[in-house]
Structure formats: C-alpha cells, structure tokens
Amino acid sequence: MHASATSLLRPAIAFGLALALTACASLSDTPTPPPKRLDETLGAATAALVEANPILAEYGPLIPTTMVDVDDLNRSSTLGRLASEIVAAELTRAGLQVREVRLGGRLYVEEHTGELMLSRLTPRLGIDQGARTLMVGTYAVGEERLYLTLRIVRVGDGNALAATQLSLPLTNDLRAMLGRW
C-alpha cells in the first residue's frame, strides 16, 4: 500500500475504533431492567400453560390450592397463598371453570396456611367439592432465587395434565412474603 493511502486510512480506522468503543460503553451504561414481579411472571407462565394445553378447559371445575413449601408440604406462607390467588385469577381469565371453595365453608382451611391439598386427602377433598382437577404447586427458596412449580392434576387418578416451572430473583419483597429476612 502506498504511504499516502496508509496515512489516510489511519484516521478512518481510529475513528471507527473510537465509535465502536463508544457504542460498547453506551451498552454497558444501559441500566438493567428491574426483576420481573411475582404477578407478572406467574401470570405469563399460567397463560402459556393454558395456551399449550387447551384440553384443560374440558376438565373443569378446577380447585386452586395453596402453593406449599417443597421441604414441608404442610407449610405455606403469604407468598404461597398469593401465588395461588394469582394463578387462579389467570386460569379464570383464560376461561377455565375455577371453583371458589372457601365460599361454601366445606373445605378445611388452616389459619395462616391455606388450602393445603398436597396430602393423602387430596382425592377425597376434590371429589367432595365436585372438582375434576386441582391446581397444586410448590416453592423452594435458594440463596438468590425463588423456584416455583405449578401442576394441574386430575382428581380421579392423580395424573398431571399440565405443568410449568419458573424462578425469580429472591428480592426483599419476596423474602417478606416468605417471612424470611
């Protein structure tokens, strides 16, 4: 290459490099979006679950139950109760027949715990309420993340018709609902 061409090329290369570095710096300065909220994440996961399993509409009525601690199926929290309420609202919005069993007073609800269906009484309680399916779920708390599972289970044989799982960053808001700081 000729010397004058090289001298003309150097400023262009320098300008291109400076432009690229500026673009990289701008990208790293971009604020990261806030973590998704529990209601947003559960709502989207439930909507996707229903969309992927249209057969669920044929298995109503459904009884939503309180999500429980995976390490102790007899224990829940504000988070477990709220998560179940969010999922039940989304299932209703999607057109599934969701039965509100607390209105009749026929289901035993333990104070500060909720409707815990992950037990050996599950089939009997579901049948007593006229349900064909139950919404059951668990949560687990990691050091930095909260993990949730959700299943729609057929009462008669206990088979899962649909399932999903998700995780969220463990924020102070979620810790407060878990009763852990």
- Tens-place pLDDT, residues 41-81: 999 999 999 999 999 999 989 999 899 999 998 899 999 99
Query: 88 and 98 in contact (C-beta within 8 Å)?
Result: yes
pLDDT surpassing 60 at residue 12 = no
Residues, the chain, total? Answer: 181
Tokens read off for 141 = 């708390």
Does the predicted model carry a pTM greater than 0.75? Answer: no
Residues 86, 43: contact at Cβ < 8 Å?
Answer: yes
- With a cut of 60, say whether residue 125 has pLDDT above it: no
